[in-house]
Chains A and B, each alone.
Chain A
Amino acid sequence: MAVDAQATDTHPDAEADADVIVTDDLTKIFEGRGGRVRAVEHLSLRVRRGEIFGLLGPNGAGKTTTVGMLTTRVIPTRGRALVGGIDVVARPATAKQVIGVVPQTNTLDRSLDVAENLYFHGRYFGMGAREAHDRVRGLLEQFRLADRATAGVDELSGGMAQRLMVARAIMHDPDVLFLDEPTSGLDPQSRLALWDVIGELHRRGQTIVLTTHYMEEADQLCERVAIIDHGRLLALDTPEALKKSIGADTEVRIHASGDLEALARELEQVPGVDSARVVDGTVYAYLRAGGATLPEIITHADRKGFALQDVGVKETTLETVFIDLTGRELRE
């Protein structure tokens, strides 16, 4: 039982300087009684130092499996992944030194109090007692948990527990902080508070990879977003570029009775309508900037004999991009 195959204290890969995460053809296939599940396929991406990188996709898209592979807990079936220049498959014990993880569920140590959760985490990562104590004090202040230092972790609210998990994950100053669905299950207020925390970490230079199925979260927080579905990377760019890529800047949602497919086809005839399609009983029409206007669409539909029940207009979002790529909505 060897520790890691190779142990050095310098990073072997020059590419680590610019890209803190590199994956090549990363693939995970689960073989179970229910058959083969291709959780992640041929994922090749790079995350730059200091950026907030989002993995956006519906539940079951392969986001958590991807994070699992990058954080040594899921063994890839194929492909390669480097974090901080360290191969996570060949040298997991070394790679774990540069990784901080906030998992999806509350994995705080129930046998320890709030401060001890941070303190022992620091010790696991080789901090001395004094250094760990000092760092705990600073983090408890920073994360507004100082008055809860000796509380049991079961006494914390959802938002506090999540903040403590983030504090724990950065206790050892990792190269990359992974946040797996960090705000799911939080109330709106706690969600905004956590967005602030994440933004602040980013300003301090922390590289962050977060997974989410909330498109607002990806849009608001992330500098670049990878859209993933069925284990495959569908698109990767800044939120602005992704939204621009669909060639429209306004989305019109129409609830109507009758043949919706026919309505969509009709709407596509209106000058300035980029495209129209039916998704889950709603007609979506995408309008180019300075093109068709809402009254023109309504008039056209009316003239063709369609009874519109409800019409909504908004700017295109990452959700629009997802629908454009997959023909499905992002929400589960």
Chain B
Amino acid sequence: MSNAGITAVKPAHASSRSAFAALLLRDLAVLRKEVWMFLGRTVMQPLLLIFVFAYVFPKIGEAIGGAAGAARFSTLLVGGVIASSMIFQGVQAVALPLVQDFGYTREIEDRVLAPMPVWAVALEKVASGAIQAVIAALVVFVLATFIPATPVHLSIHWFYLVTILPLSAMMSAALGLTIGTRVEPRQVPLIFSLLVLPMTFLGAVYYPWQGLTPLPWLKWSVLVNPLIYLSEGMRLSLTKGVPHMPVAAVYAALVAFTAVFSKLGIDGFKKRVLS
């Protein structure tokens, strides 16, 4: 220990960069410890969905859209299920730990004292949640491709995939930051039933958005649901021939929602840790 002189101080941008990387490292270390919990909460819902809708139904002759429609349904389900898993994971990965961080123990304190701006501590949460959302997407992709009883016809559009996947992951995690910082810690679990679940059911997960044309009021009102753009974007990236909304609308909405949620989340985070 040397306290004889003044500690050499690094420029703020250098200390911020290394602190950001170290916080990510910490989150990944925690993820590795809890990998079975992570897989459990990632796999269960999509596994059941795909198993029942794309395996059991076609086998017992209850397939959605009849026998011919079964293959088409399994195919469009891939994008939808990946999208809903990502948003679920992104929100969970950021919002649930914040319940503990902001709760009685105030565990976030030590990370807030890391030599970086507070907004960067919040943004690191988004980055780490986004990584978990991408991992979730990969896991679910494997499930959705191999479990269905009818063949799944994927046609990967790489440019869309490598841009929309990280963007969607960021948006999901930023939504998690907004929920985790704006909702009372005790009420965060409630938000999952009140917000995340309806979002999934009305998020164009089981049908393409264009399919809602017979219900114009629903078709236009679900546009406030950020998951719509994620589902449409995933189908855009993974399938051909499924009707979808304009590509520009998908990108614009994903960018806009990510920006808005990040801003709301960072402001909420600051309010929680600074006074």
Q: Tell me the A residues contacting B by CB distance below 8 Å.
A: 1, 3-4, 7-11, 16-17, 30, 50, 68, 71-75, 84-86, 91-94, 96-99, 101, 103, 105-112, 116, 120-121, 123-126, 168, 170, 173-175, 204-207
Contacts and interface: CB of A to CB of B under 8 A. Distances in A.
Nearest to B111: A124
Interface stretch (B3-11, B52-60, B225-233): B3-11
Given A1-B119, A30-B275, A110-B107, A96 B3 contact: no
Contacts, number: 147
A123 B26 contact: yes
Contact of A9 (B8, B113, B115): B8
A124 B107 contact: no
B1 interface: yes
Given A111-B30, A170-B1, A8 B11 contact: yes
Given A9-B8, A84-B6, A84-B7, A206 B273 contact: no
A73 B34 CA distance: 31
A91 B120 CA distance: 14
Interface string B95-128: 0010010001111111111111111100000000
Contact of B25 (A17, A73, A94, A120): A120
A306 B116 CA distance: 65
Contacts of B9: 9-11, 84, 86, 94, 97-98
B15 interface: yes
B19 A121 contact: no
B68 to A, nearest CB: 50
Contacts of A168: 110
Contacts of B100: 110
Contacts of B16: 3, 93
Interface string B15-38: 110110011011001100110000
Interface of B: 1-4, 6-16, 18-19, 22-23, 25-26, 29-30, 33-34, 97, 100, 104-120, 273-275
A152 to B, nearest CB: 11
B26 A112 contact: yes
B117 A1 contact: yes
A173 B2 contact: yes
24 contacts: A4-B117, A73-B274, A73-B275, A75-B274, A85-B6, A92-B117, A93-B117, A96-B15, A96-B113, A96-B114, A96-B116, A97-B9, A107-B107, A108-B107, A110-B105, A111-B34, A120-B22, A120-B29, A123-B22, A124-B19, A126-B10, A173-B3, A175-B6, A205-B1
A315 B19 CA distance: 50
Contacts of B2: 173
Given A98-B7, A105-B104, A110-B107, 20 more contacts: A9-B9, A10-B9, A11-B9, A17-B6, A75-B274, A93-B117, A96-B114, A97-B7, A101-B109, A103-B106, A103-B109, A105-B106, A110-B100, A111-B97, A120-B26, A123-B18, A124-B22, A124-B26, A124-B115, A125-B114
B199 to A, nearest CB: 27
Contact of A125 (B1, B19, B117): B19
Which of A68, A74, A92 has most B Cβ within 10 Å? A92
Given A75-B275, A103-B109, A3 B18 contact: no
Contact of B10 (A11, A73, A97, A108): A97
B260 to A, nearest CB: 16
A97 B105 contact: no
B33 to A, nearest CB: 7
B115 A97 contact: yes
Contacts of B273: 73
B89 to A, nearest CB: 17
Nearest to A117: B110
Contacts of A124: 19, 22-23, 26, 110-111, 114-115
A125 B109 CA distance: 14
A174 B113 CA distance: 12
A68 B112 CA distance: 12
A176 to B, nearest CB: 10
A8 B273 CA distance: 26
Contacts of A106: 105
A48 B45 CA distance: 60
Closest 5 CB pairs of A and B: A123-B22, A4-B12, A7-B11, A124-B114, A205-B3
A121 to B, nearest CB: 6
Contacts of A73: 112-113, 273-275
A7 to B, nearest CB: 4
Contacts of B26: 109, 112, 120, 123-124
A93 B12 contact: yes
B115 A109 contact: no
A109 B112 CA distance: 12
A4 B17 CA distance: 13
B132 to A, nearest CB: 14
Contacts of A109: 26, 107, 110
Given A9-B9, A108-B107, A124-B23, A93 B3 contact: no
A191 to B, nearest CB: 22
A175 B3 CA distance: 7
